[in-house]
Amino acid sequence: MRAEEDRQLIEQARQGEVEAFMMLAKEYEHQIFELTYHLTANREDAADLTQETFLHAFRAIKGFRGNSSFRTWLHRIAVNLSLNFLKKRRSQNSHFEDVDRLEEEGREKELETVRKMPSPEDSSLSQEFRTNLEKVIEELPPAYRATFSLVVLEEMSHQEAARIMGCSEKTVSWRMHEIRKRLKKKLQPFLA
């Protein structure tokens, strides 16, 4: 049902109906925000990138051929914009180690706010595990973090993630294998 509704709205948006595009944007806004937030670990950056994703999609909707689902097309735009943003931010901050440290502390505070409040039964070990897991994920190169977000957090197949990332399924599988190895190595004390 969703695919048919999307097709109708896409066709209307291609004809220049802004309201139809706004309905599409409303349907996918939360997914795109979650994806960009997982990639940037910053709510303001994620909000900006979400807005930029839809602005880019609105400008390019006439060129959308339907070779993939609208969802996949939007996710690809969001991933590309996020990776470019992260690359630009890294190059701007390369000489400012203190800025990186402050951003890291800020991200930790933001992640703490977003996390579910632990129940009284949660042990300090599980809190430490979650903190270390998030830290390991944040340390992944942007392309790996994007792959992880799409496959694990967005629950996409390797095939769909590959289409969004613009790479092969084998590349996605290899990245997931490498991510699992890194996670296992870094989190070994908690896995025993």
| Whether residues 27 and 119 fall in one domain | no
- Cα dihedral sign, 92-96-97-102: negative
Residue 106 within any structural domain of the chain: no
How many domains are there within the chain? Answer: 2
| Whether residues 79 and 42 fall in one domain | yes
CA distance 67 to 73: 9
pLDDT of amino acid 147: 92
pLDDT of amino acid 85: 92
| Whether residues 119 and 87 fall in one domain | no
| Whether residues 151 and 183 fall in one domain | yes
Give me the CATH number covering residue 39. Answer: 1.10.1740.10
Residue at which a domain ends, from 69, 97, 125: 97
Residue 79 within any structural domain of the chain: yes
pLDDT of amino acid 117: 44
| Whether residues 54 and 18 fall in one domain | yes
Q: pLDDT (tens digit, 0 to 9) for every residue of the chain, 192 residues total?
A: 577 888 899 999 999 899 999 999 999 999 999 999 988 889 999 999 999 999 999 999 988 888 888 888 999 999 999 999 988 887 766 545 545 555 565 556 555 544 544 444 444 556 677 777 788 888 889 899 999 989 988 888 999 999 998 999 999 999 999 998 988 888 787 665
Query: What three-state secondary structure class fits 16?
Result: coil
Closest listed residue to residue 27, CA positions, set 45, 8, 40: 8
Residue at which a domain ends, from 33, 64, 97: 97
pLDDT of amino acid 6: 84
Residue 110 within any structural domain of the chain: no
Residue 155 within any structural domain of the chain: yes
Give me the CATH number covering residue 135. Answer: 1.10.10.10
| Whether residues 134 and 85 fall in one domain | no
Residue at which a domain ends, from 97, 124, 158: 97
pLDDT of amino acid 116: 44
Residue 64 within any structural domain of the chain: yes
pLDDT of amino acid 108: 62
Q: Which domain holds residue 144?
A: 115-192
DSSP state string for 98-154: HHHHHHHHHHHHHHHHHSPPPPTT--HHHHHHHHHHHHHHHHS-HHHHHHHIIIIIS
Residue 132 within any structural domain of the chain: yes
Residue 130 within any structural domain of the chain: yes
pTM of this prediction? 0.68
Residue 105 within any structural domain of the chain: no
